Amino acid sequence: MIVVCGDALIDFMPVALPEGGSGYIPVCGGSCCNIATAIGRLGGKVGFMGGLSEDFFGAMLLQQFNEAGTDLRYAARLPFDTTLAFVRLGSDEPEYAFYD
């Protein structure tokens, strides 16, 4: 088993709204979350070690890990808010504003 240790957060990704203008949608993210999810979706045996909030964003992350078959025996559910990251996409690298 590969155990990925680190961050699991919610990225707010920019989207164009059908009525015009723009908004943000919440997406499960964080490098370690993405790696663990990808390994699980590809059929690998994977675990995640890190903190997952008890809030509704934590529930989103938990659902994604469960759907990917990620072993969560090393993950702790914590009474803290999930880290949020707002993403700005530009011509170069994405920019992030973190709220923790």
- pLDDT tens-digit series, residues 2-59: 999 999 999 999 999 998 999 999 999 999 999 999 999 999 999 999 999 999 999 9
- pLDDT tens-digit series, residues 54-98: 999 999 999 999 999 999 999 999 999 999 999 999 888 999 999
Note whether 13 and 87 are within 8 A (CB).
yes
Say if domain 2-99 classifies as CATH 3.30.1330.10.
Answer: no
- Unique residue bearing structure tokens 């992350």: 61
Distance in angstroms (rounded) separating the CA atoms of residues 40 and 67: 9
Q: Kindly report the pTM of this predicted structure.
A: 0.91
Strand partners, 77: 52
Q: 3-class SS at 89? A: coil
